[in-house]
Chain A
Amino acid sequence: MIKLTRVSKEYPKRGHALRDVTLHIKKGEFAFLTGHSGSGKSTTLRLIHMADRPTDGEVRVTGYSSERVTERDLWKVRRRVGMVFQDFRLLPGRTALENVAFVLEVTDTPAKAVHSRSQRLLTQVGLSPKAGALVNELSGGEQQRVAIARALANDPYILLADEPTGNLDDRATRGVMDLFWDINAKGMAVLMATHDLELIRRYPHARVFELDHGELVFDSATDTRED
């Protein structure tokens, strides 16, 4: 599903963001990607989303290789990989429904199906009563649910989440985490970047990768140490 093979990423000013990282996430897996700020979590997600290309090594996502996929074909990768951010990145001034419908409209969904599918997605994230509310009038947790509904719009194989609970209180965090687990239970792989170790401890069955200064220092699937 996701395979990083000896991946390094170097930025001209910042230097090495990732060094020789190899990891493999299988279909339907739930994994946390943790590490301190600047450890390379977001860079890893960007590489998987193919917003960036590795300096060395190869990133393979649902059959697409970073070495071969062209700029013109990036959209094919993006439709297979949903993405959620800490700051939601919704379109202000539009309703929750419009934010979700926007994705469907711009990704070739037949016009007739847009409204009903948007409603269904909002129902899936428990937000159908607020479908008509402007996103800037919603709470952080609700906005994140809209962002998740938007990320699910293309029926992706993988959901990437970059610190999705970073701006949420504990109650909203639990709600959003439950939602991620529900989505995962239906077979979608989830890779969530977070520096919140307390949050990770709450989900002992999830796989955990830890990055430190751009290097993969821990993979719970291969590590036998007691935590």
Chain B
Amino acid sequence: MYEFKYHRPTTVRQAANLLTKFSEAKLLAGGHSLIPVMKLRLAKPSDIVDLSQVEGLSGIELKGRSIVIGAMTKHGEVANSQVVKDALPVLAEVPGSIGDPAVRHRGTIGGSLANNDPNADYPAAVLGLGATIITNKRRIAADDFFKGMFETALAPDEIITKVQFPIAKKAAYEKFKHPASGFALVGVFVSKRGSDIRVAVTGAGSNGVFRVASFEEALKKRFSPKSIEGMTIPADGMNSDIHGSAEYRAHLVAVLARRALAKA
């Protein structure tokens, strides 16, 4: 790791002030994305602002027709939450599929979203449910939040505090797991809430998570795998690497979308 200065604020405001003061500062949540890239010297933050002692950033609440999850809530807490399992079980399944038990004891929802790894699972759930990201400054709709690989709409001194998920009537997530890393080679999240139909894809796109408009349009008539039978998406803009070609990933998107619809 490169050298850095360490800060341990106790309020969101203090944390935001540190981000303003040090332009090369980074927030540390669970650290399970940031610490590995720092160890590889792929990240060189001048300052680390550890959020672990900031009160009030954790917890899961049912609020009307939505579930609100604090940014520092660990994957394991969401995966095992009875509130989530009862109201929107797929939202417990998604973090339950991340890493392994020890990783899920540290990794956080806020950290995952702020990082916006193109293979991460949470972005698919957030975009696939049309969730709202709540920060210390504003509320950001999922459709406006993800801006490309490792890029989000967050301003340099902006901190995610909560994520609000509407409870969809029908929703499912299907993931083709990389057998070693557990990351989504491709993951497809589908949901239907009234007339809002969403198909969100992670792992496949070279710009990170995206929606499949053609599938969503076809599903308006009937929310069923039959509605997208035979449909494909172009391989342009898909990731291509040693784990799978762009064509393979494009193919998986359609397959997993049909499986998710069958499950929803």
Partners in one complex: no
On A, residues with C-beta under 8 Å from B are none
On B, residues with C-beta under 8 Å from A are none
